[in-house]
Structure 1
Amino acid sequence: MGHTRQDEWDAHYADGKTYRPLGDAERALLSAHVPAPADGGRALDVGCGLGELAAHLASVGHTVDAVDWADSGLARARATHPRGVRWLRLDIERDDLAPLRQDGYDLITLRLVYAFFRDRVQVMDDLGRRLRDGGAIVVITPLVATTPEERRAVALDETEVSLLSTGWKRVERFDAEGLAVLVLRGRVQPEASAGRR
Protein backbone atom coordinates (compact mmCIF):
# COMPACT_ATOMS: atom_id res chain seq x y z
CA MET A 1 0.00 0.00 0.00
CA GLY A 2 2.77 2.54 -0.63
CA HIS A 3 4.21 4.39 2.35
CA THR A 4 2.80 2.93 5.53
CA ARG A 5 5.61 3.46 8.05
CA GLN A 6 6.67 6.73 9.63
CA ASP A 7 10.26 6.41 8.40
CA GLU A 8 9.05 5.82 4.81
CA TRP A 9 6.98 9.01 4.89
CA ASP A 10 9.84 10.91 6.48
CA ALA A 11 12.17 9.77 3.67
CA HIS A 12 9.51 10.60 1.05
CA TYR A 13 9.33 14.25 2.13
CA ALA A 14 13.06 14.51 2.94
CA ASP A 15 13.78 13.47 -0.66
CA GLY A 16 11.78 16.49 -1.85
CA LYS A 17 8.81 14.44 -3.04
CA THR A 18 5.28 15.78 -2.94
CA TYR A 19 1.79 14.54 -3.73
CA ARG A 20 -1.17 15.77 -5.74
CA PRO A 21 -1.61 19.55 -5.22
CA LEU A 22 -4.84 20.88 -3.75
CA GLY A 23 -7.08 21.55 -6.74
CA ASP A 24 -9.51 24.36 -7.51
CA ALA A 25 -12.42 21.88 -7.48
CA GLU A 26 -11.51 20.80 -3.94
CA ARG A 27 -11.26 24.42 -2.79
CA ALA A 28 -14.64 25.20 -4.34
CA LEU A 29 -16.33 22.20 -2.71
CA LEU A 30 -14.87 23.06 0.70
CA SER A 31 -16.03 26.66 0.34
CA ALA A 32 -19.54 25.61 -0.69
CA HIS A 33 -20.14 22.81 1.81
CA VAL A 34 -17.96 23.50 4.88
CA PRO A 35 -17.23 27.25 4.95
CA ALA A 36 -15.62 28.74 8.03
CA PRO A 37 -18.23 30.11 10.44
CA ALA A 38 -18.58 33.90 10.34
CA ASP A 39 -16.93 34.17 13.76
CA GLY A 40 -14.14 31.81 12.69
CA GLY A 41 -13.98 28.09 13.26
CA ARG A 42 -11.57 25.44 14.42
CA ALA A 43 -10.23 22.99 11.86
CA LEU A 44 -8.04 19.90 12.20
CA ASP A 45 -6.15 18.66 9.15
CA VAL A 46 -5.11 15.03 9.71
CA GLY A 47 -2.13 13.76 7.72
CA CYS A 48 -1.34 17.29 6.61
CA GLY A 49 1.82 16.41 4.68
CA LEU A 50 3.31 19.61 3.27
CA GLY A 51 0.50 21.73 4.69
CA GLU A 52 -1.23 23.03 1.57
CA LEU A 53 -4.77 22.22 2.74
CA ALA A 54 -4.08 23.43 6.30
CA ALA A 55 -2.77 26.75 4.96
CA HIS A 56 -5.82 27.08 2.70
CA LEU A 57 -8.18 26.48 5.64
CA ALA A 58 -6.36 29.16 7.65
CA SER A 59 -6.59 31.59 4.73
CA VAL A 60 -10.40 31.32 4.66
CA GLY A 61 -10.87 31.97 8.38
CA HIS A 62 -10.31 28.75 10.32
CA THR A 63 -8.00 28.41 13.30
CA VAL A 64 -6.08 25.33 12.18
CA ASP A 65 -4.27 22.47 13.87
CA ALA A 66 -2.40 20.32 11.35
CA VAL A 67 -1.00 16.92 12.30
CA ASP A 68 1.36 14.53 10.57
CA TRP A 69 3.86 11.92 11.70
CA ALA A 70 6.64 12.83 9.26
CA ASP A 71 9.07 15.36 10.73
CA SER A 72 10.46 16.24 7.30
CA GLY A 73 6.99 16.97 5.93
CA LEU A 74 6.15 19.18 8.91
CA ALA A 75 9.46 21.03 8.57
CA ARG A 76 8.67 21.79 4.92
CA ALA A 77 5.11 22.81 5.84
CA ARG A 78 6.35 25.22 8.54
CA ALA A 79 8.89 26.75 6.15
CA THR A 80 6.38 27.17 3.31
CA HIS A 81 3.42 28.28 5.45
CA PRO A 82 4.96 30.05 8.47
CA ARG A 83 1.77 31.65 9.82
CA GLY A 84 -1.77 30.73 10.75
CA VAL A 85 -1.39 27.02 11.51
CA ARG A 86 -0.36 25.11 14.62
CA TRP A 87 1.78 22.20 13.33
CA LEU A 88 1.80 19.04 15.48
CA ARG A 89 3.78 15.84 15.09
CA LEU A 90 1.33 13.07 15.96
CA ASP A 91 0.54 9.55 14.85
CA ILE A 92 -3.25 9.89 14.92
CA GLU A 93 -3.65 6.13 15.48
CA ARG A 94 -1.05 5.49 18.20
CA ASP A 95 -0.14 8.68 20.04
CA ASP A 96 -1.87 10.37 22.94
CA LEU A 97 -4.18 12.93 21.34
CA ALA A 98 -4.04 15.30 24.33
CA PRO A 99 -2.30 18.03 22.24
CA LEU A 100 -5.48 18.38 20.15
CA ARG A 101 -8.05 21.01 21.17
CA GLN A 102 -10.15 19.69 24.03
CA ASP A 103 -13.12 21.83 22.95
CA GLY A 104 -13.26 20.12 19.55
CA TYR A 105 -13.34 21.17 15.93
CA ASP A 106 -15.90 22.50 13.47
CA LEU A 107 -14.11 20.82 10.58
CA ILE A 108 -11.79 17.82 10.36
CA THR A 109 -10.14 17.06 7.02
CA LEU A 110 -8.41 13.88 5.85
CA ARG A 111 -6.97 14.45 2.37
CA LEU A 112 -5.24 11.57 0.57
CA VAL A 113 -4.59 9.84 3.90
CA TYR A 114 -7.60 7.65 4.77
CA ALA A 115 -6.40 4.61 2.79
CA PHE A 116 -3.24 4.43 4.93
CA PHE A 117 -4.96 3.94 8.30
CA ARG A 118 -4.66 0.48 9.82
CA ASP A 119 -7.82 0.79 11.97
CA ARG A 120 -10.12 3.08 10.03
CA VAL A 121 -13.14 2.52 12.29
CA GLN A 122 -11.17 3.50 15.40
CA VAL A 123 -9.74 6.61 13.71
CA MET A 124 -13.17 7.77 12.57
CA ASP A 125 -14.68 7.09 16.02
CA ASP A 126 -11.91 9.09 17.71
CA LEU A 127 -12.24 11.98 15.25
CA GLY A 128 -16.04 11.88 15.31
CA ARG A 129 -15.97 12.47 19.07
CA ARG A 130 -13.88 15.60 18.48
CA LEU A 131 -16.46 17.24 16.23
CA ARG A 132 -18.40 20.17 17.62
CA ASP A 133 -22.18 20.22 17.14
CA GLY A 134 -22.89 20.90 13.49
CA GLY A 135 -19.33 20.07 12.48
CA ALA A 136 -18.19 17.89 9.59
CA ILE A 137 -15.44 15.48 8.67
CA VAL A 138 -14.31 15.76 5.05
CA VAL A 139 -12.49 12.79 3.51
CA ILE A 140 -10.85 13.46 0.14
CA THR A 141 -9.63 10.26 -1.48
CA PRO A 142 -8.73 8.70 -4.80
CA LEU A 143 -11.10 6.02 -6.05
CA VAL A 144 -10.04 2.68 -7.50
CA ALA A 145 -12.24 3.30 -10.56
CA THR A 146 -10.35 6.49 -11.51
CA THR A 147 -6.84 5.56 -10.34
CA PRO A 148 -4.17 3.91 -12.51
CA GLU A 149 -3.63 0.26 -11.57
CA GLU A 150 -0.14 0.80 -10.16
CA ARG A 151 -1.51 3.36 -7.64
CA ARG A 152 -4.74 1.66 -6.62
CA ALA A 153 -3.35 0.64 -3.23
CA VAL A 154 -3.84 4.27 -2.10
CA ALA A 155 -7.42 4.43 -3.42
CA LEU A 156 -10.77 3.27 -2.05
CA ASP A 157 -13.21 1.00 -3.80
CA GLU A 158 -16.98 1.45 -3.52
CA THR A 159 -17.24 -1.06 -0.68
CA GLU A 160 -14.68 0.91 1.34
CA VAL A 161 -16.52 4.17 0.58
CA SER A 162 -19.75 2.57 1.78
CA LEU A 163 -18.09 1.41 5.01
CA LEU A 164 -16.64 4.88 5.56
CA SER A 165 -20.10 6.39 5.13
CA THR A 166 -21.75 4.04 7.64
CA GLY A 167 -22.58 5.51 11.02
CA TRP A 168 -23.17 9.11 9.92
CA LYS A 169 -26.54 10.84 9.94
CA ARG A 170 -25.76 12.81 6.78
CA VAL A 171 -23.33 11.92 4.00
CA GLU A 172 -22.73 14.00 0.88
CA ARG A 173 -20.45 12.83 -1.92
CA PHE A 174 -18.89 15.00 -4.60
CA ASP A 175 -16.31 14.62 -7.34
CA ALA A 176 -13.20 16.82 -7.51
CA GLU A 177 -11.38 15.98 -10.72
CA GLY A 178 -11.46 12.24 -10.05
CA LEU A 179 -11.16 12.43 -6.25
CA ALA A 180 -14.14 11.56 -4.07
CA VAL A 181 -14.99 14.25 -1.53
CA LEU A 182 -17.14 12.89 1.29
CA VAL A 183 -18.73 15.29 3.77
CA LEU A 184 -19.80 13.41 6.91
CA ARG A 185 -22.00 14.94 9.60
CA GLY A 186 -23.63 13.67 12.80
CA ARG A 187 -21.57 10.69 13.92
CA VAL A 188 -23.68 7.91 15.39
CA GLN A 189 -21.47 6.52 18.14
CA PRO A 190 -21.25 2.73 18.13
CA GLU A 191 -21.84 1.23 21.59
CA ALA A 192 -18.60 -0.77 21.50
CA SER A 193 -16.44 2.35 21.27
CA ALA A 194 -18.24 4.45 23.89
CA GLY A 195 -15.54 3.99 26.53
CA ARG A 196 -12.45 4.51 24.38
CA ARG A 197 -10.24 7.63 24.46
Structure 2
Amino acid sequence: MADQKSWNESYADGNAWRRVTDAEVVALAAHLPAVAYGARALDVGCGTGKYAAALHVLGYDVDGIDWAPAAIKHARGLEQPGLRFHVADLADPGLAPGYGLVTARLVYPVVDDRAALLEAVDQLLAPDGVFVVTAPRPDILPASRRHVGLSGEHLGELADWAAVLHVVGHEELRIALCTRST
Protein backbone atom coordinates (compact mmCIF):
# COMPACT_ATOMS: atom_id res chain seq x y z
CA MET A 1 0.00 0.00 0.00
CA ALA A 2 1.21 3.50 -0.72
CA ASP A 3 1.97 5.71 2.22
CA GLN A 4 0.04 8.85 3.15
CA LYS A 5 2.58 11.12 1.45
CA SER A 6 2.30 9.21 -1.84
CA TRP A 7 -1.51 9.34 -1.79
CA ASN A 8 -1.45 13.06 -1.10
CA GLU A 9 1.10 13.74 -3.86
CA SER A 10 -0.99 11.74 -6.30
CA TYR A 11 -4.11 13.81 -5.54
CA ALA A 12 -2.07 17.03 -5.63
CA ASP A 13 -0.88 16.04 -9.12
CA GLY A 14 -4.50 15.78 -10.24
CA ASN A 15 -4.70 12.01 -10.35
CA ALA A 16 -8.07 10.46 -9.70
CA TRP A 17 -9.18 6.88 -9.42
CA ARG A 18 -12.11 5.04 -10.93
CA ARG A 19 -14.92 7.49 -11.64
CA VAL A 20 -18.19 7.01 -9.73
CA THR A 21 -20.91 6.27 -12.27
CA ASP A 22 -24.65 6.77 -11.95
CA ALA A 23 -25.10 3.05 -12.67
CA GLU A 24 -22.82 2.14 -9.76
CA VAL A 25 -24.81 4.36 -7.39
CA VAL A 26 -28.11 2.89 -8.64
CA ALA A 27 -26.74 -0.64 -8.10
CA LEU A 28 -25.70 0.25 -4.55
CA ALA A 29 -28.98 2.01 -3.75
CA ALA A 30 -30.96 -1.03 -4.92
CA HIS A 31 -29.36 -3.13 -2.18
CA LEU A 32 -29.32 -0.68 0.73
CA PRO A 33 -32.11 -0.50 3.29
CA ALA A 34 -34.42 2.49 2.95
CA VAL A 35 -32.74 5.64 4.22
CA ALA A 36 -34.27 7.03 7.39
CA TYR A 37 -34.39 10.80 7.56
CA GLY A 38 -31.06 12.09 8.89
CA ALA A 39 -29.33 8.71 8.69
CA ARG A 40 -25.60 9.22 8.97
CA ALA A 41 -23.07 7.81 6.52
CA LEU A 42 -19.28 7.74 6.67
CA ASP A 43 -17.30 7.42 3.44
CA VAL A 44 -13.83 6.12 4.33
CA GLY A 45 -11.09 7.07 1.87
CA CYS A 46 -13.49 9.48 0.16
CA GLY A 47 -10.87 10.93 -2.20
CA THR A 48 -12.32 13.81 -4.16
CA GLY A 49 -15.77 13.30 -2.63
CA LYS A 50 -17.87 12.08 -5.58
CA TYR A 51 -19.09 8.88 -3.85
CA ALA A 52 -19.89 10.78 -0.65
CA ALA A 53 -21.84 13.32 -2.72
CA ALA A 54 -23.79 10.46 -4.33
CA LEU A 55 -24.63 9.08 -0.87
CA HIS A 56 -25.89 12.54 0.08
CA VAL A 57 -28.18 12.58 -2.96
CA LEU A 58 -29.56 9.22 -1.75
CA GLY A 59 -30.61 10.97 1.48
CA TYR A 60 -27.72 10.42 3.88
CA ASP A 61 -26.07 13.02 6.12
CA VAL A 62 -22.48 12.26 5.06
CA ASP A 63 -19.01 12.66 6.50
CA GLY A 64 -16.25 11.92 4.01
CA ILE A 65 -12.78 11.24 5.38
CA ASP A 66 -9.43 10.82 3.68
CA TRP A 67 -5.90 11.08 4.98
CA ALA A 68 -4.77 13.01 1.87
CA PRO A 69 -5.20 16.77 2.41
CA ALA A 70 -5.04 17.38 -1.36
CA ALA A 71 -8.04 15.08 -1.89
CA ILE A 72 -10.06 16.79 0.84
CA LYS A 73 -9.17 20.21 -0.56
CA HIS A 74 -10.84 19.13 -3.81
CA ALA A 75 -13.79 17.43 -2.05
CA ARG A 76 -14.59 20.51 0.00
CA GLY A 77 -15.79 22.17 -3.20
CA LEU A 78 -18.78 19.78 -2.98
CA GLU A 79 -19.68 20.62 0.63
CA GLN A 80 -23.20 21.66 1.49
CA PRO A 81 -25.47 21.13 4.50
CA GLY A 82 -25.40 17.42 5.25
CA LEU A 83 -22.17 16.78 3.29
CA ARG A 84 -18.85 17.39 5.05
CA PHE A 85 -15.24 16.41 4.39
CA HIS A 86 -12.40 15.96 6.87
CA VAL A 87 -8.71 15.09 6.74
CA ALA A 88 -8.85 12.06 9.02
CA ASP A 89 -8.62 8.31 9.23
CA LEU A 90 -10.69 5.79 11.17
CA ALA A 91 -8.59 6.27 14.30
CA ASP A 92 -9.65 9.94 14.50
CA PRO A 93 -11.24 10.52 17.92
CA GLY A 94 -13.54 13.17 16.40
CA LEU A 95 -15.66 10.53 14.65
CA ALA A 96 -18.80 9.80 16.66
CA PRO A 97 -20.30 6.28 16.62
CA GLY A 98 -23.74 5.57 15.24
CA TYR A 99 -23.32 5.64 11.45
CA GLY A 100 -26.10 3.79 9.66
CA LEU A 101 -23.80 3.31 6.67
CA VAL A 102 -20.02 3.11 6.40
CA THR A 103 -18.51 2.79 2.93
CA ALA A 104 -15.01 1.92 1.79
CA ARG A 105 -14.87 2.32 -1.99
CA LEU A 106 -11.56 1.25 -3.57
CA VAL A 107 -10.03 1.12 -0.08
CA TYR A 108 -10.34 -2.29 1.61
CA PRO A 109 -7.95 -4.30 -0.60
CA VAL A 110 -5.13 -1.77 -0.23
CA VAL A 111 -5.29 -1.35 3.55
CA ASP A 112 -2.36 -3.03 5.31
CA ASP A 113 -4.20 -3.79 8.56
CA ARG A 114 -7.71 -4.81 7.51
CA ALA A 115 -8.43 -6.30 10.96
CA ALA A 116 -7.88 -2.84 12.49
CA LEU A 117 -10.10 -1.30 9.81
CA LEU A 118 -12.90 -3.75 10.63
CA GLU A 119 -12.48 -3.08 14.36
CA ALA A 120 -12.77 0.67 13.76
CA VAL A 121 -15.83 0.19 11.55
CA ASP A 122 -17.37 -1.97 14.26
CA GLN A 123 -16.93 0.91 16.73
CA LEU A 124 -18.46 3.50 14.38
CA LEU A 125 -21.32 1.52 12.85
CA ALA A 126 -24.78 1.64 14.42
CA PRO A 127 -26.01 -1.78 15.62
CA ASP A 128 -28.27 -2.15 12.55
CA GLY A 129 -25.85 -0.37 10.21
CA VAL A 130 -24.37 -1.57 6.92
CA PHE A 131 -20.70 -1.62 5.93
CA VAL A 132 -20.22 -1.49 2.15
CA VAL A 133 -16.93 -2.45 0.51
CA THR A 134 -16.59 -1.74 -3.22
CA ALA A 135 -13.58 -2.65 -5.33
CA PRO A 136 -12.81 -4.06 -8.77
CA ARG A 137 -13.18 -7.75 -9.53
CA PRO A 138 -9.61 -9.12 -9.54
CA ASP A 139 -10.28 -11.34 -12.56
CA ILE A 140 -10.65 -8.32 -14.86
CA LEU A 141 -7.47 -6.62 -13.66
CA PRO A 142 -4.01 -7.10 -15.14
CA ALA A 143 -1.79 -9.31 -12.97
CA SER A 144 0.16 -6.27 -11.75
CA ARG A 145 -3.05 -4.65 -10.39
CA ARG A 146 -4.93 -7.66 -8.96
CA HIS A 147 -3.92 -6.65 -5.44
CA VAL A 148 -6.44 -3.76 -5.64
CA GLY A 149 -9.32 -6.11 -6.44
CA LEU A 150 -11.81 -7.49 -3.94
CA SER A 151 -10.58 -11.09 -3.81
CA GLY A 152 -12.00 -14.29 -2.38
CA GLU A 153 -9.63 -13.83 0.58
CA HIS A 154 -11.09 -10.37 1.24
CA LEU A 155 -14.63 -11.70 0.98
CA GLY A 156 -13.70 -14.44 3.47
CA GLU A 157 -12.46 -11.82 5.94
CA LEU A 158 -15.68 -9.87 5.55
CA ALA A 159 -17.78 -13.03 5.93
CA ASP A 160 -15.94 -13.85 9.18
CA TRP A 161 -16.60 -10.33 10.49
CA ALA A 162 -20.21 -9.88 9.35
CA ALA A 163 -23.34 -11.65 10.51
CA VAL A 164 -24.69 -11.25 6.97
CA LEU A 165 -22.64 -10.74 3.81
CA HIS A 166 -24.30 -10.03 0.47
CA VAL A 167 -22.07 -9.64 -2.59
CA VAL A 168 -23.32 -7.89 -5.70
CA GLY A 169 -21.54 -7.83 -9.02
CA HIS A 170 -21.77 -4.61 -10.98
CA GLU A 171 -19.89 -4.37 -14.25
CA GLU A 172 -16.21 -4.59 -13.25
CA LEU A 173 -16.94 -4.11 -9.53
CA ARG A 174 -17.80 -6.23 -6.53
CA ILE A 175 -19.97 -4.58 -3.91
CA ALA A 176 -19.99 -6.35 -0.54
CA LEU A 177 -22.74 -5.32 1.89
CA CYS A 178 -22.03 -6.42 5.47
CA THR A 179 -24.20 -6.24 8.56
CA ARG A 180 -23.22 -7.20 12.09
CA SER A 181 -26.75 -8.05 13.26
CA THR A 182 -29.13 -10.57 11.72
Give the TM-score normalised by the residue count of structure 1.
Answer: 0.85
SS in 2 for 1:129: helix
1:57–1:64 CA contact under 8 A, matched in 2: yes
1:68–1:91 CA contact under 8 A, matched in 2: yes
RMSD (Å) for aligned C-alpha atoms: 1.7
How far residue 39 of structure 1 moved from its aligned partner, in angstroms, is 1.8
Distance 1:187 1:35 in 2: 14
Consecutive aligned runs of 4 or more in structure 1 exceeding 3 Å deviation: none
2:79 partner letter: P
How far residue 36 of structure 1 moved from its aligned partner, in angstroms, is 5.1
Give the TM-score normalised by the residue count of structure 2.
Answer: 0.91
Distance 1:108 1:39 in 2: 16
The 1:187/1:120 distance shift into structure 2, 3 A limit, reads farther
SS in 2 for 1:19: coil
1:44–1:105 CA contact under 8 A, matched in 2: yes
Gaps of 5+ in 1: 189-197
1:17-166 paired onto structure 2 within 5 Å: 17-35=15-33, 37-79=35-77, 81-83=78-80, 84-92=82-90, 95=91, 97-102=92-97, 104-166=98-160
Distance 1:132 1:124 in 2: 14
Give the aligned partner of residue 179 of structure 2. Answer: 185
Of all paired residues, the percent bearing the same amino acid is: 36
Distance 2:79 2:125 in 1: 26
How many residue pairs match? The answer is 181
Give the aligned partner of residue 3 of structure 2. Answer: 5
Identify the range of structure 1 (41-50 vs 124-133) with the bigger mean alpha-carbon deviation. Answer: 124-133
